[in-house]
Structure 1
Amino acid sequence: MFYGKIPSTLSSYKRLREISLSLNDFSGTIPKEIGNVTKLMRLYLRLNQLEGEIPEELGNLAELETLWLQNNYLLTGTIPSSIFNLSSLSNLDLSVNKLTGELPPNICNNLPFLEILILEVNDFDGKIPSTLSRCKHLQTLSLLMNDFSGDIPKEIGNLTKLKYLYLTKTDSKNTNDNNASHFNLIPWHKFVKELRINWQCFFFAHVYAKVLKRNPRGAGESCRIRDVMATKNFLTGAIPSSIFNLSSLSNLDLPVNNLTGIIPSQLGNPSSLQILYLSYNQLSGPIPSFILFKSSLLENIHFEYNILFVELPGDIPKEIGNLTKLKYLYLDQNRLQGEIPSEIGNLHNLEWMEFGINKLVGAVLATIFNVSTLKIFGASNNSLSGRLPSSPNIRLSNLEKLHLWDNNFSGTIPSFIFNASKLSTLELQMNSFSGFIPNTVGNLRNLGLNDNYLTSSTPELSFLSSLSNCEYLEYLSFSDNPLDGILPRAIGNLSQSMENIWMSNCNSSGSIPDEISNLTNLIAISLEGNKLNGSIPIALRKLQKLQLLSLKDNQLEGSIPNDLCRLVALFELDLGGNKLVRFIPACFGNLTNLRNLYLGSNKLTSIPSTLWNLKDILRLDLSSNFFTGPLPSEIGNLKVQFY
C-alpha cells in the first residue's frame, strides 16, 4: 500500500490513458499537474486520504471518461465548473467527501454521455437541479445524505434509461418522515431497477458497520436492507453475527478494515447473499465450507489479503464447486495449501478466479481450463507443478488474462493457450517450461516468459516475426531463457505500441539491428548479458521516450555515440562490461533526467568535465577503465554513490 503525496511528475507521461491509485494511503492534495495528461481517459483516486479542493485543471482532460474520487473523506470546496464541461465523461463518483455548494443549473449542458453520477455523503445544498433530466443517458443517480432542500424535480422522470436512483428526502434534516407519497407525481419508468428514498434505511445499510453494536433486526425487517458497505472505515473487532439476521442481505462489503477473528458461522443465513467482500482485513481460520452449501445464489467471493498476508489457512474446500452461480472468486494472499480442487470445474459461470500468493501445490487439472466462461485466471506465486493440460478439446474462447508466474510448472507450453483468441496478457515467467516458443501467439498485449528453459525453433528467433501480428503488444520479456539465436531485423516490425523489451541473458548474438529504432514508443530496453557485438547503433537516437537502456555485459565495440544524448528522457543507462573505447561524450552532461549511469569495465580513456553537471545523479560507475589523472573537485557536488 503506497502512501505520501501523489507525485506531480505524473504529468510528464503525456500518453497515459489511465491512472489508477485507488486503495492506498495517499495524502495531500490532488496535483493540478494531472490536468496536463491530456490523453487521460480514466482517473481512479478513490479510497485514499486526499484533501483540499478538486483542481480546476482536471477540466483540461478532454478525453476523460471516468473520474473516481470517492471515499477520500477530506476533499472540500465546490465541484469545479470545468468538470461539467468534460463532454466525454460517462462515470463521475465524488461520494463520501466534504464537498459543498449548490449543483449548477447547467450541470448537464455539456455531459451528453454521462451514465453514472454519484455525489452521496457530502455537504451539497440548495435545490436538486431539474436540468439533470438533460443527461439523457443517465443510468445511476445518487444524491443521498446531503443537505438538498425543496422538491424532488419531476423532470427526473424523463430519464428513461435510469436504472438506479438514490435520493435523500428533501430537507434531509428531518429524518423521521419516511413518507414517500410525494413521489407519486413522478412518472417512474419500468427501467428503474432500484429506488431508494428512505434516508433512514439507506443510512443504516451503508453506515451500519460503523456502529456494529447496534441491533439490525428491526431495520432489516422494515427496510429490507440489501447492501451493507463500509469499505476502509477503520473498523476493528469481530464481524458481529447479528449482521446476518438481515434476511434480504445480498451484498456484504467490508474490505480494507482491521476486522479480526474467524468468519461467523451464521454467514450462510441470508439465502439471498450474492457478494461477499471481506478482503484486506485480519480475519483468520479456514474458509467456512457451510457457506458453500447455504448461499446458493453467491456470485462473488473476496477473501484475499487477510491476517496481514498470513490469513485463512487450510485447503480450498471442494464444496466450492456447489456455487454454480459464482462469477468471481478471489482468494489471493492467504495461507491456503493443498491442491486446487477439481470441483471448480463445475462452476460454469465463473469469469474471474484468483489464487495468487498462497502455498498451493499439485497440478492444474484440465477441468479448470474447461470452464469456457473464464476470463481471468491467476495462480501466481505458489508451488504448483507438473505440466499444464494439453488436451485438444480445451477451448478458452473468453480467456483474457492468464497469470501463472513463479511456480514449478514444466514441460512445453500447450497450444491451447496461444489459440485463445481474446488472450491479451500471458505471464508464465519464473517456471521450468521448456521447448520452443510457439510461432502462433494470438493477439497479445503483454507476454512474460522470462526465467524458463525456452528455446527458439530457428536461429533467427522466428517467434519474434510472429509477434509482429500482435497489433497492441506493449510488454515483452524473454530474459533468462537459452534462446541461442541472432537478434533479427524483424524486431523492428513489432507493434508501434511496444513499450518494454526484456531479452537479457538469452545467449543472443549478432549485432543490434537498426530496425529496433522503429519502435518509437519504447520506454525500456534490456539486452544485457548476451553476446551482442558490433557498435551501438546511432539509430537508437529515434527512441525519444526511452527511459532505460541496458546493454551491459556484451561484446560491443567502438566509441559511445553522441547520438545517445538525444535520449533526453533516459533515467538509466548501462553500457558496462563491453569493449567501448575513447571518451565519454561531453553531451552526457545534458541528460538531466539521468539518475543511474554505468560505464564500468570498458576501455574508456577520458571523462568530460560536463559529466559533473549531473547534480541529481544517484549512481555512477566508471570503474575498471583506462582513466588517468586526478578527479576534479566538482565531484563533491554530486549526490551520487560513486564506483
Structure 2
Amino acid sequence: MMTIITTQIPLLLLLLLSLTTFHKCMSINDHKLVRCNEKDKETLSIFRKGINDSFGLLSTWSTEKDCCAWKGVSCDNITNRVTKLDLKLSPYFDPFRTSTGEINMCILELEFLSYLDLSDNDFDVISFTTIQHNITHASNLFYLDLSDNDLQMDNLDWLSPHSSLKYLYLSGIDLHKVTNWLQAVNTLPSLLELQLSYCNLNNFIINPSIEYLNLSSLLTLDLSVNNITSQLPNWFFNLTKDLTYLNLRDSNIHGEIPSSLLNLQNLRYLELSYNQLQGSLPDGISQLPNIQHLDLSYNKLQGSLPDGISQLPNIQHLDLNSNMLSGSNIPSTLENLSSLNYLSIGGNNFSGEISENTFSKLSNLDWLDLASSNFVFQFNLDWVPPFQLSDLLLSNTNQGPNFPSWIYTQKSLQSLDLSSSGISLVDTNKFSSLIERIPYLFLSNNSLTGDISNLTLKGDMLYLNRNNFTGGLPNISPNAGGYARDVDFSYNSFSGSIPHSWKNSKYLTTINLWNNKLSGAVLEHVSDWTQLGFLNLGENEFSGTIRFKMSQYLSVLILRANQFEGTIPTQLFNQSSLFHLDLAHNKLSGSMPKCIYNLTEMVTLTREDSFVYGTLELFTKGQEYYMEYADSIRKTIDLSANNLSGEVPSELFHLVQAQTLNLSHNNLIGKIPKTIGGMKNLESLDLSNNKLSGEIPQSMALLTFLEVLNLSCNNFDGKIPIGTQLQGFNVSSYIGNPNLCGAPLNNCTTEEENPKNATPSTDNDSIRESLYLGMGVGFAAGFWGICGSLFLIRKWRHAYFRFVDGVGDKLYVTLMVKLNSFRRNRAPANEGDSSSG
C-alpha cells in the first residue's frame, strides 16, 4: 500500500507542474493577443484615419486587436512599444494599388519609433498640426523615408527634434518653397545619407549666422535633378571630408568646378553630368585616389584634360561624354588607368588618333563609350584587345567602310551600337556569328548589304533599319532573355513574308517594317503578339483583311500603303491605348463601324503623356514628318484613299483629343455632325473628295487650333459659317462644292444670305406662274363672254349700240354746257378791263 502511494506522488507532482506550465503559457498567449501599448495604438489609429485605403492594404488595422500584428507595424519583444512602421509599396504589388490621402506626422509622437518608411505611395497631403507641440521625448528615429509621394512642403523645420537621424530620403517631394533646406539638414549631425533628388530645389543659400555646416558624418549626398540655377559655392565641398558618393546630375548648375572638390579624398562616385559647368577640370583631379565613377558629360567644359588624370590608379568609371572639352592626344592620358572599367569620353571636341596603344594597359575595361567623337581610329587588323567588353558605343563615329575587325574578338558583348558609323563591308561569317548572339544590337543608318534570312537573332532590341539588306527577314529566337523586344528593320529591301518563327515571340512590343518589299497575309500573326504596343507595316505589299485579336497595349497601328481589303473591324475602335491609327491608301471598303468609340487616349486628356519607342512617318497638315519615336501628344486618325462608303458615324467626332483627322478620297455621304465643334484640339481636318452634303455646321467655327482644312470636292451647300477661323483659309479649302458660298468664296445672293426668311426660289416661281395663268384665263373668259354675246344676239347688239350712242350724246351735251358757262363768266371781266384802259 505504501508502495502504491509513493509511486503516485511523483505523478501528482508532474501533473501539477504541467498544469502550472500550461497556465503560464495560456497567460502568455492571452498577453500576446493584446500586448500593444494603448498609447501607441491610439497614435496609430489617428494616423490611420487620414489614409484612403480603398484596396484594403491595411485591413489588418481594423481586424486585429493587437496593433503589433498590424501590417507594417513592428514592436519590441520586451517593451511591447512600436519601433518600426514600414508601409512602403512592395514591388510585387500592383503599382496602382497604393495608399493615398494624408500623412499625419503625429506618427512621430511614438516614443520608441526608430524606423519609418512611407515611400512609393500616392500620399498628397502632409500634416504637422500637432507634431511641434507634442514631442517632448528624445527622438530615437534614425531612418525616415517619405520619398516618391505626391507631396509638397513649405519648410523642413520639423526635422530639428530628430538629431539621431542617419538616413533621410525625401526624393520626389516638392521643396521649391523651402529656402533653408541646408540649414534644416545642418541640425542633423549624425546624418550618413541624404537624398533630395527631384525636389525642385532652387538654391544653395546659407544663413550668414551659420559659421559652418555640421555634416561631418555624411557619406552619401544625392541632389540630382533639381533646379538650383547657381554656381557651386567653394564651401560646398567642405561639407564633410568623408563623402564617398556625390550626385548633382541635371540640376542646372553653372560656373566652374571649385578646386575644393579635391578635399573629398574618399570620393568614389562623382556625378556632375547634364549641367552648365564651364571652364576646365581642376588640375589636381588626379589627387582623388579612390574615385571609381566620374561623370562630367553634357556640360560646357573646355580645355584639355589634366595630364595628371592618368595618375588615378583606382578609377573604375570615367564619363566625360558630350562636353565641349578641346585639345588633342587625349589617348595618352588614359594609357595608365589600369583599374578603369568604365570609360566614356565621347561627345567632345577631342582629336587625335585612337590605336591599340591607347588600351594596352586597360585590361579591366568593361564599358567603352566613344560615341559622337572626332577621333581617328587606327587599329591593326590583327589586334586582339586585352579586355572583354560588355558594352561598346561607337555611334556617330567614322569607322567605315570596313567593320572594325577587333570587335569580332569580343565574346561577352551585351550591347553594340555602331549606328551612323559609315560601315558597308563585313566579314560575312564573323559578322553573322557576332550579331546572332548580341542582345542589344544597333546598326542603323549604315550601308550594310547582304541576305541574312538564314540567321536567327536572339536579341531583345534589334535595330537594323536604314541599310541595304535584301532577301527574306531573319528569324527571331523565342527564347530571348528580356520581356520587351523591339524590332526595327525599316528602310531596307527585305522581301517575302514574315517568318513563322516570329509568331512565337510573344514578348514583341515594337515592330517596324516600314518601306520594304514584304508581302503576304501578315495579320494572322498579330493575335500572338499580346504585348505589342507599336506596329508599323506601312509601305509594303501586305494583303488580307484586318480581322484579328489585338493586344490591349496597342498604341500605334500603321498599315498605310498596302493591299489590305474588307471592312474596318469594330474592335479597332475599342483599343483604349490607341492614339495613332493610319490605314490610308489601301482597298478597305464598306461603312465605318457605328459603335461607341472607346479610344480612351483620344477622348481623355491623360495626366502624363506616354510615348512608345518606334520611328514613324506622320502625315498631317498636308505634309510628311519623320518622328524618332511616337508619343501620345500626337493623336492621329487617317483612313484616306480607300473605298469607304456610308455616313460618317457621329461617334467619331467624340474623339475630342484627336489632332489629325483625314477621311479624304473615299465615297462617304451624309452631313457633318454638329458635334464636330467639340473636337477643339483638331489641327488638321481633311474631308475632301467624298460625297458629303448639307451645310457646314456653325460649330466648326469653334475649332480655333485648326491650321489645315480641306472640304473640297463634295456636295456642301449654303453659306460658309462666319468665324475668323473658317474665313482664314483660302479658296482651295472649299472649291468643288457648286452650291457653297460665302467668304472666301464668291458672295452669296440676298436670298442665300437670308435662308431662314426667304422662300425657296423654286416655290416662288411656281406660285407666280399659277397666279399669272389664272388672271389671263379669267380676263379671256370675261372678254369673250361679253363680246361673243353682242355679236351673236341681235337684240343685245342693238341695245348695246343705243347705249353707246346715248352715253356719247350725254357726254357731248354736258361738255357744251360746261363750255358755254365758262365763256359767260369770262365776258364781264373782259369788258371791265376795256373801260379802264
Normalised to the residue count of structure 1, the TM-score between the two structures is 0.67
Q: Are 2:561 and 1:505 equivalent residues in the alignment?
A: yes
Pick from 337, 358, 361 the counterpart of residue 421 of structure 2. 358
Structure 1 SS opposite 2:448: strand
Q: How far is 1:345 from its partner?
A: 3.1
Aligned partners of 2:640 and 2:665 also within 8 Å: yes
Q: Distance in 2 between matches of 1:562 and 1:527?
A: 20
1:11-50 to structure 2, matched below 5 A, reads none
Q: Distance in 2 between matches of 1:245 and 1:109?
A: 34
Q: Distance in 2 between matches of 1:354 and 1:531?
A: 40
Aligned partners of 2:469 and 2:492 also within 8 Å: yes
Pick from 529, 532, 539 the counterpart of residue 480 of structure 1. 539
Aligned partners of 1:323 and 1:347 also within 8 Å: no
Partner of 2:341: 274
Q: Are 2:590 and 1:534 equivalent residues in the alignment?
A: yes
For residues 440-466 of structure 1, the C-alpha deviation after alignment (integer angstroms, 9 at most, x for no partner) is 32020111111111111xxxx2x4233
Instruction: Name stretches of at least 5 consecutive residues in structure 1 with no aligned partner.
Output: 1-37, 42-58, 65-82, 90-98, 115-121, 136-143, 154-163, 181-196
Pick from 696, 699, 702 the counterpart of residue 613 of structure 1. 702
Aligned partners of 1:390 and 1:416 also within 8 Å: no
Q: How far is 1:281 from its partner?
A: 2.1
> Given residue 514 of structure 1, which amino acid in structure 2 is its aligned partner?
T
Pick from 212, 217, 235 the counterpart of residue 152 of structure 1. 217
Pick closer, same or farther for the CA change 1:566–1:109 going to 2, 3 Å.
farther
Partner of 2:528: 469
> Given residue 712 of structure 2, which amino acid in structure 1 is its aligned partner?
S
Aligned partners of 1:216 and 1:245 also within 8 Å: no
Partner of 2:439: 375
Give RMSD over aligned pairs: 4.3
Partner of 1:30: none
Structure 2 SS opposite 1:440: helix
> Given residue 347 of structure 2, which amino acid in structure 1 is its aligned partner?
Y
Partner of 2:515: 451
> Given residue 447 of structure 1, which amino acid in structure 2 is its aligned partner?
I
Q: Are 2:691 and 1:633 equivalent residues in the alignment?
A: no
Q: Distance in 2 between matches of 1:455 and 1:408?
A: 18
Structure 2 SS opposite 1:243: helix
Q: Are 2:299 and 1:299 equivalent residues in the alignment?
A: no
Q: Distance in 2 between matches of 1:376 and 1:444?
A: 14
Q: How far is 1:84 from its partner?
A: 4.9
Q: Distance in 1 between matches of 2:433 and 2:723?
A: 66
* Farther-moved stretch of structure 1 (551-560 vs 474-483): 551-560
For residues 197-223 of structure 1, the C-alpha deviation after alignment (integer angstroms, 9 at most, x for no partner) is 994326798599966475438725xx3
Pick closer, same or farther for the CA change 1:39–1:619 going to 2, 3 Å.
farther
Partner of 2:248: none
Structure 2 SS opposite 1:425: strand
Partner of 2:284: 216
Pick closer, same or farther for the CA change 1:219–1:476 going to 2, 3 Å.
same
Q: Distance in 2 between matches of 1:100 and 1:478?
A: 55
Partner of 1:543: 599
1:533-612 to structure 2, matched below 5 A, reads 533-539=589-595, 541-546=597-602, 547-606=635-694, 607-612=696-701
Structure 2 SS opposite 1:296: coil
Q: How far is 1:131 from its partner?
A: 8.2
For residues 597-624 of structure 1, the C-alpha deviation after alignment (integer angstroms, 9 at most, x for no partner) is 1111222223211111111212211122
Aligned partners of 1:409 and 1:431 also within 8 Å: yes
Pick closer, same or farther for the CA change 1:434–1:628 going to 2, 3 Å.
same
Aligned partners of 2:355 and 2:379 also within 8 Å: no
For residues 327-347 of structure 1, the C-alpha deviation after alignment (integer angstroms, 9 at most, x for no partner) is 111111223321323542321
Partner of 2:46: none
Q: How far is 1:489 from its partner?
A: 1.6
Q: How far is 1:438 from its partner?
A: 2.0
Q: Are 2:470 and 1:407 equivalent residues in the alignment?
A: no
> Given residue 414 of structure 1, which amino acid in structure 2 is its aligned partner?
P
Pick closer, same or farther for the CA change 1:263–1:475 going to 2, 3 Å.
farther
Pick closer, same or farther for the CA change 1:395–1:201 going to 2, 3 Å.
same
Pick closer, same or farther for the CA change 1:204–1:341 going to 2, 3 Å.
closer
Q: Distance in 1 between matches of 2:592 and 2:660?
A: 16
Aligned partners of 2:120 and 2:149 also within 8 Å: no
Partner of 1:73: none
Pick from 338, 345, 360 the counterpart of residue 401 of structure 2. 338
Q: How far is 1:480 from its partner?
A: 0.6
For residues 141-189 of structure 1, the C-alpha deviation after alignment (integer angstroms, 9 at most, x for no partner) is xxx9996416639xxxxxxxxxx85799xxx789599699xxxxxxxxx
Pick closer, same or farther for the CA change 1:627–1:545 going to 2, 3 Å.
same
Pick closer, same or farther for the CA change 1:262–1:145 going to 2, 3 Å.
farther
Q: Are 2:497 and 1:436 equivalent residues in the alignment?
A: yes
Aligned partners of 2:267 and 2:290 also within 8 Å: no
Q: How far is 1:256 from its partner?
A: 2.8
Q: How far is 1:241 from its partner?
A: 3.5
Q: Are 2:711 and 1:622 equivalent residues in the alignment?
A: yes
Q: How far is 1:572 from its partner?
A: 1.0
Q: How far is 1:274 from its partner?
A: 1.4
Larger radius of gyration: 2
Q: How far is 1:591 from its partner?
A: 0.9
* Farther-moved stretch of structure 1 (529-538 vs 327-336): 327-336
Aligned partners of 1:426 and 1:446 also within 8 Å: yes
Give the number of the structure whose residues are more often helix, by fraction: 2
Partner of 2:55: none
Structure 2 SS opposite 1:557: strand
Partner of 2:331: 265
Aligned partners of 1:100 and 1:123 also within 8 Å: no
Pick closer, same or farther for the CA change 1:613–1:167 going to 2, 3 Å.
closer
Partner of 2:627: none
Pick closer, same or farther for the CA change 1:100–1:640 going to 2, 3 Å.
farther
Structure 1 SS opposite 2:637: strand
Q: Which has the higher contact order (CA 8 A, sep 6+)?
A: 1
Q: Are 2:290 and 1:229 equivalent residues in the alignment?
A: no
Structure 2 SS opposite 1:216: helix
Q: Distance in 2 between matches of 1:152 and 1:109?
A: 11
> Given residue 259 of structure 1, which amino acid in structure 2 is its aligned partner?
L
Aligned partners of 1:276 and 1:300 also within 8 Å: yes
Aligned partners of 1:517 and 1:543 also within 8 Å: yes
Aligned partners of 2:286 and 2:309 also within 8 Å: no
Identity %: 23
Aligned partners of 1:345 and 1:369 also within 8 Å: no
Aligned partners of 1:39 and 1:61 also within 8 Å: no
Partner of 2:823: none
Question: How many corresponding residue pairs?
Answer: 501
> Given residue 497 of structure 2, which amino acid in structure 1 is its aligned partner?
F
Structure 2 SS opposite 1:520: coil
For residues 111-154 of structure 1, the C-alpha deviation after alignment (integer angstroms, 9 at most, x for no partner) is 7999xxxxxxx94641447587999xxxxxxxx9996416639x
> Given residue 528 of structure 2, which amino acid in structure 1 is its aligned partner?
N
Q: Distance in 2 between matches of 1:225 and 1:62?
A: 35
Q: Distance in 1 between matches of 2:728 and 2:381?
A: 57
Pick closer, same or farther for the CA change 1:564–1:636 going to 2, 3 Å.
closer
Pick closer, same or farther for the CA change 1:600–1:283 going to 2, 3 Å.
farther
Pick from 458, 467, 489 the counterpart of residue 547 of structure 2. 489
Normalised to the residue count of structure 2, the TM-score between the two structures is 0.53
